[in-house]
Amino acid sequence: MRPSLLLALLLLAIGILDVGLLLQSGQQRAAWPVRMASAGIATEALGLTDLCIATEARYTRHPAVSDPLAPFMDHPGGLEHFPTGSFWAYPWQHLRGASL
Amino acid sequence: MNFLLEKQLNLLDYALASLWRRKLKNLGIMSVFAGVICLVASFQFLTASLTATAQDLLAEAPEIVVQQMSAGRQEALPLSYLSSLEELNGVRTVAPRIWGYYFSEISGANYTVLAVDPSVMPKGDRLFQAVEGQLPSGPGEAVLGSGVAADLKLAGRRSFSLFRPDLTLKPMQMVGVFKPDTDLLTADLIYTTPDAARDLFAIPADHCTDLCVYVANPREIGTIAKKISVILPGTRVLTRPQISQTYRVVFGWRSGFASICLLSALAAFVILAWDKASGLSAEEKREIAILKVLGWQTGDILLLRCWESLIAAGLAWLLGCTAAYLHVFWLGGALFKPVMLGWSVIHPQLRLLPVVSTADLLLIFTMSVVPYLAATVIPAWRAAITPPDAAIR
């Protein structure tokens, strides 16, 4: 068997896997509005503003409504020390530049 | 046409055989390369998915949120503001919210306690659809997020207690639990009555935490927000577009961890490219010289190198992206979860909207495969134009 044929078979196998994953993600996206209907109701009825992903610090639990200086304002000279602070960027430029 | 195709197939066969001859080295490079691509792609998929999920779930967030600021911090807001806002033209409803954080000394978890009158909120009459059980109505009744319910370890009990600021106990009663589908919004939530929340946080009866303002015409959100900031100086006014845009920025490439991932990926790649670009090994140079003695042209050798690099980098890209998809959407981004959740005690289930765009895949391809091709073909060209006898010697 030619080596190029082996490569083609390998690419075909990866391709089939990727197409399967693509179809599955399409199904999930199609089912999303039905699945998340109750989440939409909760957002509107409770006036929720943020996703609940990280709950350790208020500026990563509620980045949309927390104080602009929250990571550094617990005490004078206070440093941001929560691990999630390294993953979540505070939207400085957006809030400074955004027009009401 | 057939001749050209046959030539390319032969070159491809030779390239594959050549790669296989140095399989340990090439498989090693491919694995590291695929790992780096997987890391970068995972981050890109995860942030894109989180952003899309936030856009979708928070599409109906409050139109305007008004917060009282004092000395740079948010503080309780007098309910007298309510009448000022209701008088504004275009304002449909103003809903006071009482909310805050409760730190559990026992488990170290942070809960978000929220109270709002559902009768003044949009879709407040349908809130029961998001809850398994009843809505709170009596004193101390509460609906718990699944994370809070698990953290409190109620074990069949319905009553629990929380500490007030003066350390006296506030008795609470669980009357329902938020449905698991709302976990991404409510996992740490204790939803209770306004009176119970005021009692728990010692907030005076004539104050609330913030105000949600709903307008008659959504196109007037910006105008009304400006009016509010004029009539209520000292307040911070946030609009729905701002809330929505926050999540487009907050998970962006500028976030610290993304920078670290990118820098490490780039550093690994630079080392790899430098190793390749610094010159071919003596064995590889001799091989090229022998091929030229046998009648191969410089173009043929470049094509051969292109095939070799394309196979290695292309396969690494394919495997890396596939692994990244599985990692993010099947394993819930297990590698990033510890950093994304940090010291959070409550871990919501990440049910994310799977989003993989062609633009993301092309971006990763351009960042990985194209520079690799350039870094390997250029030294091969330099070796191919040296006289064969000099290379063999």
Higher pLDDT, B111 or B275: B111
In a domain, residue A65? The reply is yes
The pLDDT, as a whole number, for residue B384 is: 75
* DSSP for residue A17: H
In a domain, residue A82? The reply is yes
Compute the mean pLDDT over every residue in chain A, rounded to the nearest whole number. Answer: 81
Average pLDDT of the residues in B243-250 = 81
Q: What is the pLDDT of residues B279-305, one digit of tens each?
A: 667 777 788 888 888 888 888 888 888
Give the confidence band of B107 by pLDDT, cuts at 50, 70, 90.
very high
Tell me which chain A residues have a C-beta less than 8 angstroms from the C-beta of B349: none
On whether both A38 and A62 belong to a single domain, the answer is no
In a domain, residue A16? The reply is yes
In a domain, residue A83? The reply is yes
The pLDDT, as a whole number, for residue B163 is: 95
What's the sign of the alpha-carbon dihedral B257, B258, B259, B262?
A: positive
Tell me: pLDDT of B162 over 80. yes
> Which two three-digit tokens encode residue B262?
């990118």
The pLDDT, as a whole number, for residue B322 is: 96
Check CB contact of B350 with chain A, cutoff 8 Å: yes
On whether both A34 and A69 belong to a single domain, the answer is no
Tell me: pLDDT of A76 over 70. no
Interchain proximity A45–B121, CB inside 8 Å: yes
On whether both A64 and A38 belong to a single domain, the answer is no
Structural element, H or E, at residue A43: helix A37-46
The pLDDT, as a whole number, for residue A72 is: 64
In a domain, residue A68? The reply is yes
| pTM confidence score | 0.85
Q: Which residue of B has its CA nearest to A56?
A: B344
Tell me which chain A residues have a C-beta less than 8 angstroms from the C-beta of B13: 2-4
C-alpha separations of B283 from A41, B30, B75, B277, B384 in Å: 67, 21, 72, 16, 13
Tell me: pLDDT of A94 over 70. no
On whether both A40 and A68 belong to a single domain, the answer is no
Tell me which chain A residues have a C-beta less than 8 angstroms from the C-beta of B238: 49, 64-65
Instruction: Select the residue from A1, A19, A46, A93 to test the B interface by mutation, using most B Cβ atoms within 10 A.
Output: A46
For residue B346, give the nearest of A23, A2, A55, A9 by alpha carbon.
A55
Average pLDDT of the residues in B358-371 = 86
The pLDDT, as a whole number, for residue A100 is: 44
On whether both A41 and A62 belong to a single domain, the answer is no
Q: Which residue of A has its CA nearest to B214?
A: A47
SS3 string, chain B, reads: CHHHHHHHHHHHHHHHHHHHHCHHHHHHHHHHHHHHHHHHHHHHHHHHHHHHHHHHHCCCCCCEEEEEEECCEEECEECCHHHHHHCCCCEEEEEEEEEEEEECCCCCCEEEEEEECHHHCCCHHHHHHHEEECCCCCCCEEEECHHHHHHHCCCCCCEEEEECCCCCEEEEEEEEEECHHHHHHHCCEEEECHHHHHHHHCCCCCEECEEEEEECCHHHHHHHHHHHHHHCCCEEEEEHHHHHHHHHHHCCCCCHHHHHHHHHHHHHHHHHHHHHHCCCCHHHHHHHHHHHHCCCCHHHHHHHHHHHHHHHHHHHHHHHHHHHHHHHHHCCCCCCHHHHHCCCCCCCCCCCCCCCCHHHHHHHHHHHHHHHHHHHHHHHHHHHCCCHHHHHC
Tell me: pLDDT of B222 over 60. yes
Distance of residue B195 Cα from the nearest chain A Cα, in angstroms: 16
Residue B256, φ and ψ in degrees, nearest 5: -55, -45
On whether both A28 and A62 belong to a single domain, the answer is no
Range of the domain at A8: 3-46
Interchain proximity A45–B62, CB inside 8 Å: no
On whether both A42 and A8 belong to a single domain, the answer is yes
In a domain, residue A53? The reply is no
Tell me which chain B residues have a C-beta less than 8 angstroms from the C-beta of A97: none
Distance of residue A79 Cα from the nearest chain B Cα, in angstroms: 15
Tell me: pLDDT of B6 over 90. no
On whether both A64 and A42 belong to a single domain, the answer is no
The pLDDT, as a whole number, for residue B44 is: 86
> Helix (H, G, I), strand (E, B), or coil: what is residue A32?
helix
Tell me which chain A residues have a C-beta less than 8 angstroms from the C-beta of B59: 40, 43
Tell me: pLDDT of B255 over 60. no
* DSSP for residue A12: H
Interchain proximity B50–A53, CB inside 8 Å: yes
Separation CA A10–CA B281 (nearest Å): 29
The pLDDT, as a whole number, for residue B377 is: 77
On whether both A63 and A28 belong to a single domain, the answer is no
Tell me which chain A residues have a C-beta less than 8 angstroms from the C-beta of B193: none
Tell me which chain A residues have a C-beta less than 8 angstroms from the C-beta of B249: 89, 91, 93-94
On whether both A31 and A62 belong to a single domain, the answer is no
Instruction: Select the residue from A41, A60, A79, A81 to test the B interface by mutation, using most B Cβ atoms within 10 A.
Output: A41
In a domain, residue A51? The reply is no
On whether both A8 and A42 belong to a single domain, the answer is yes
**Chain A contacts in chain B segment 296-335 (CB below 8 A):** 311, 315, 318-319, 322, 325-326, 329
Please state the domain count of chain A.
2
On whether both A40 and A64 belong to a single domain, the answer is no
In a domain, residue A52? The reply is no
Distance of residue B283 Cα from the nearest chain A Cα, in angstroms: 23
The pLDDT, as a whole number, for residue A99 is: 45
